Amino acid sequence: MLGAKLAAYKKYEEAESLVKKALENDPDNPHIIRHSGKYLRDRNRLDEAIDVFERGLKRGDQLSSFNYQLALCYKQKMIAEECRRRFSNREEVRKWRRICISHLEESVKRKRPFVRAWADLALLCAEEGDMSRAEEAFQQCLEKLPEVEEEKDCQTIHQRCGDFYLYHKKNEAQAIAHYTKGLLIPLKKYNWRQCAKKLKQIAERRLAKNRGDGEALALLGQVARAEGDRKRAAEFYEKALNCDKDNEEYLSALCELRLELQ
């Protein structure tokens, strides 16, 4: 754990020494396997991380966790191959995706699966073209949502659902609904930023076609408000009301913002 923390502060030499020592002293300890594997994955040493997590699988405990960690390793391999752009090997991308899916399938079989594993599985199945499996997995995510305690996991689910509806189902209204739910969770990490970014892109694309789109202007107001820019948010809601004068939702938001600005 100390090695992983030191790596976060870019003290790689000391971190490397500690992780190596931990693996030498107690190589079959599941906690050491988990932390050292994550350290190696974060350092993009994916083959080494895979070896460590595979050893964890052979132990027979924490299978859901180790399968999920292996899925993340193969997902990084897939993304790295995709990022090669025109030089990328599509068959290689599909190979890593399928291995990733197989580990996620194993992870969600367990008694207490990671809800993020369901979300990742759903999106990867959609990328693979298996839409029925993707929809089934997202349904599992949403059913488990009331039990999820971690805000970041809720945010991840809504962000992944938004991507699924936007890119695979071409259902902009459902995508907006999920991105908005993710945006309203105050934890401002990666998935929050992604929800904000996607809402802005949707709104700006709609405004490029119709400058009088009140819903798009209100979306920008909502994002600005979530970002803490109340003045800009009020301006967007004013414009939205000019386009849709009887909209009580826009009026209520604008009144609240004006009170906050006083």
- Is the separation of the CB atoms in 198 and 178 below 8 Å? no
Per-residue pLDDT reduced to its tens digit, 10-29: 898 999 999 999 999 998 89
The arithmetic mean of pLDDT across residues 237-241, rounded, is: 96
CATH superfamily of 210-262: Tetratricopeptide repeat domain (1.25.40.10)
Per-residue pLDDT at 45 exceeds 60: yes
Q: What is the mean pLDDT of residues 150-154?
A: 87
| pLDDT band at residue 152 under the 50/70/90 scheme | confident
CA distance 140 to 174: 17
Average pLDDT over residues 178-199: 94
Check: pTM over 0.75? Answer yes or no. Answer: yes
How far apart, in whole angstroms, are the C-alpha atoms of residue 248 and residue 46?
52
Q: Is the pLDDT of residue 145 over 60?
A: yes
* Percent residues over pLDDT 90 in the chain: 69
Q: Which amino acid is at 88?
A: S
Instruction: Determine the pLDDT at residue 88.
Output: 67
Q: What is the mean pLDDT of the chain?
A: 91
Strand, helix or coil at 6? helix
83-100 pLDDT, tens digit each = 876 666 888 899 999 999
220: pLDDT strictly greater than 70: yes
What count of Cα atoms within 13 Å lies in the side-chain half-sphere of residue 197? 9
Q: How far is CA 97 from CA 29, 72, 73, 108, 252, in A?
A: 29, 10, 11, 16, 46
Cβ–Cβ < 8 Å for 67, 106? yes
- In this structure, the number of other CB atoms found within 10 A of the CB of residue 85 comes to 6
E strand or H helix that includes residue 215: helix 214-226
C-alpha distances in angstroms, 179 versus 21, 60, 121, 210?
43, 38, 19, 22
Question: What's the CA gap between 162 and 170, in Å, rounded?
Answer: 10
What does the alpha-carbon distance between residue 158 and residue 145 come to, in Å, rounded to a whole number? Answer: 10
Quote the pLDDT of residue 132.
Answer: 93
Q: What is the pLDDT of residues 120-144, one digit of tens each?
A: 999 999 999 999 999 999 988 888 8
Question: What pLDDT is stored for residue 95 in this prediction?
Answer: 93
Please give the pLDDT value at position 54. 94
Determine contact, residues 13/4, Cβ cutoff 8 Å: no
Q: 1-113: which CATH topology?
A: 1.25.40
Mean pLDDT within 178-204: 95
What confidence tier does 112 reach under pLDDT thresholds 50, 70, 90? Answer: low
Is the pLDDT reported for residue 49 higher than 80? yes
